Amino acid sequence: MASPTTAPGIRLGWIGLGSMGNAMAKNIHRHLVAQGLPPLRFFNRTASKGDALEALGGTRCASVAAVAADSDVIFISASDDEAVQSIIEQIIDSGPGDIAGKTVVDTTTVHPDTTKAATARLRRAGADFAAAPVFGATPVAEAGRLLVAFAGAAAAFERVAPFLEGVVAREVLRVGEAPEQAMLLKTTGNFLMAGLMELIAEAHVFAEKTGLPAAAVEALLERNFGAVAHSDSVRMSGVYLPGRGQAPWSGLDLALKDVGHGVALGRRAGAPLPAAELALGHLRRAKAWAEEEVEGKRDGGNGGSGSAAAPRALDSSSLYGVVRQDAGLDFRTEFVKRRDAE
């Protein structure tokens, strides 16, 4: 089958510039410029997050409705289900005449029920809807090497495909025509990743307690278990607990949401996910650790009682700190302690 081609003069819009959304939006904008197409239109609630994209030549819009009115394809990259629902409402409220015949693509990881409801609402308004959740952390997004799970009508895929593989993604997995199917695959990937993260954390703690060099474990993971396992292993060195003011590769709150969706869906389907339940419990304890650190409830706490400081932004791999604690080790590695002290 011939490769999808880009429609002449097609206008793209982007809503949501978190760390992942920002990286994807920049790559798409660069591609548009290289193809001689109109620049990417964008909106983000926190305006300053769009400064870098605007500096590249992106067109800042005043609202979600303005993006919807001036774009043929509208991408969404939000934080959670509530944010996606709000954006969909604003797109629809921009007026049926503004979105009829347009394509909305959600890259956010949300509950399949949220996607199913959005599909019905947008189709009633005359727009196509597709789900395209992504696999990969921020550095992978910046490199344009994400894995995308795509589900939607064939016409929607033909329209969107030129801006996915080779632009934001190394590959696109076609899941089906019902958009919620992509979210089910992403949910499956999330609890697989959480289980893998748990195993790798345990392996590193086992190595530390038995005297096995961490470098040997990391080399084994890279050469025998592949790039994903190696990337998770690298996080255990210090990424799992970013320094204050540093951004995580993938946020803990997102992991709690994503793995939580999987656990809830498993229970509803009568398919328990004990490995995901274990990882979810450790993620919750990691979040509690960050909150206690601010409150000064233990050694190494910052801020003290009544401090206005926000909890440190932990990575989704921060369950490593909890696995360390359960083995009698400090949540913080020696590397993290030295880094924080500096």
Residues of the chain with pLDDT under 50: 1-2, 299-308
Taking the CB of residue 8, how many other CB atoms lie within 10 A of it? 8
Confidence (pLDDT) at 310: 80
Give the pairing type, strands 103-106 and 128-131.
parallel
DSSP 7-18: PTT--EEEE--S
Confidence (pLDDT) at 1: 40
Give dist(CA 42, CA 28) in Å, integer. Answer: 11
Q: Can you tell me whether residue 105 is helix, strand or coil? A: strand
Give dist(CA 146, CA 239) in Å, integer. Answer: 19
Going by C-alpha positions, the residue among 222, 46, 14, 248 that lies closest to residue 138 is 248
- Give the tens place of pLDDT for each residue, 100-136: 999 999 999 999 999 999 999 999 999 999 999 999 9
Residue 106 contacts residue 129 (beta carbons within 8 Å) = yes
- Give the tens place of pLDDT for each residue, 130-183: 999 999 989 999 999 999 999 999 999 999 999 999 999 999 999 999 999 999
Q: Token match 């398919």: residue? A: 271
- pTM of model > 0.85: yes
Confidence (pLDDT) at 244: 87
Catalytic residues: 186
